[in-house]
Structure 1
Amino acid sequence: MYGRYGVDQFSLFLIAVYLVLYLAGSLLRLELVCWVALVVAAYVVFRLFSRNISRRRAENNKFMQLAGPAIRWFRLRRTIHRDKDHRYFKCPNCGQQLRVPKGKGKITVTCRSCGASFEEKS
């Protein structure tokens, strides 16, 4: 694989699309959907072994610009769900996510990025 592009986030997304299309085509007996899934799989293999690294990186950057906000939202939700010791607030002024310890009662939260203060129950 020396000199080849390899796997990135866009490739992983395409693999998931391939699996969904292939399973849907197989279960519903839709041959056209299976062929589309095969085309997606061929494109994934092409990206994997490509030597045009700058072009593949540009494709991945474009994908991350489109899918990045959704990915960050899901990661934040997972972090909030796993973190039982803190509460998360959004600054009403700038929208920055703020983390404060739980169980401290009513506290004044100060945003580090804009300096706005507001009261919240922790």
Structure 2
Amino acid sequence: MNQFQNKFNQFMRGRYGNDQLNIAVLILGVILSLISSLVRIEILMLPSYILLGFMIYRAFSRDYLRRSKENSWFLKYWYPVENWLLRQKRQLKEMKTYKFYRCPECRQKIRVPKGKGKICITCPKCRTEFIKRT
């Protein structure tokens, strides 16, 4: 095992390897492949093969600068999506104990505890007061 690992490490030396873009391309390729096999639409297999081939090409590429630029471009668009997904996940967790409202003036999302009856809510951003039932 150690000999194989050494040979693989020697082979990968100077190559780009994996990054977030490769992982995203791999996941997308596997999802397309699964959809293709479940729905029995063979035409979806071609894009999944292309994506998987692109991922392998990027992993074994020696052009470090170009691959890192591609990854930074991907991350520029991925991070806002990831942050939105994390906020939605947190809000779903907190739905048992909190209610969420939007300020009628500035549209700021406000979290208030559930079960307090009718309360006066003050927006922390614009100081607008409005009454809601929790």
- Alignment identity in percent? 23
Cα gap change, 1:22 to 1:82, in 2 (>3 Å)? same
Deviation at 1:40, TM superposition (A): 0.6
Q: Deviations over 1:8-62 (max 9, x none)?
A: 2x544433321222123334161x4222211111223344566222332013313
Match of 2:48 among 33, 37, 40: 37
The DSSP-based 3-state class of the residue aligned with 1:93 is coil
Does residue 85 of the first structure (1) align with residue 97 of the second (2)?
A: yes
Alignment CA distance shift 1:119-1:49 (3 Å): farther
The DSSP-based 3-state class of the residue aligned with 2:51 is helix
Report the alpha carbon displacement of residue 100 of structure 1 after superposing the two structures with TM.
0.9
CA distance in 2, matches of 1:12, 1:45: 11
Deviation at 1:79, TM superposition (A): 2.5
The residue matched to 2:73 in structure 1 has which SS?
A: helix
TM-score, structure 2 length as denominator? 0.65
Q: TM-score, normalised by structure 1?
A: 0.70
Q: Which residue of 1 aligns with 2:19?
A: 7
Among 92, 96, 100, which residue is 2:108 paired with? 96
Amino acid at match of 1:54: K
How far apart, CA to CA, are the structure 2 residues paired with 1:100 and 1:75? 19
Counterpart CA distance in 2 for 1:100 and 1:120 is: 10
Partner Cα separation in structure 1 for residue 22 and residue 103 of structure 2: 35
Where does structure 2 lack aligned partners over 5 or more consecutive residues?
1-11
User: CA RMSD of the aligned region, Å?
Assistant: 3.0
Q: Which residue of 2 aligns with 1:115?
A: 127
Query: Closer, same or farther in 2 for the Cα pair 1:97/1:24, shift >3 Å?
Result: same
- Corresponding residue for residue 56 of structure 1: 71
Residues paired across the two proteins, number: 116
Is the CA contact 1:5–1:56 (under 8 Å) kept in the aligned structure 2? no
SS in 1 for 2:115: coil
Deviations along 1:74-100, one digit per CA (max 9) or x if unpaired, are: 444432332222111111222211111
Supply the distance in 2 between the matched residues of 1:15 and 1:99 (Cα, whole angstroms): 37
Give me the whole-angstrom Cα distance separating, in 1, the residues matched to 2:58 and 2:125. Answer: 40
Q: Secondary structure at the match of 2:107?
A: coil
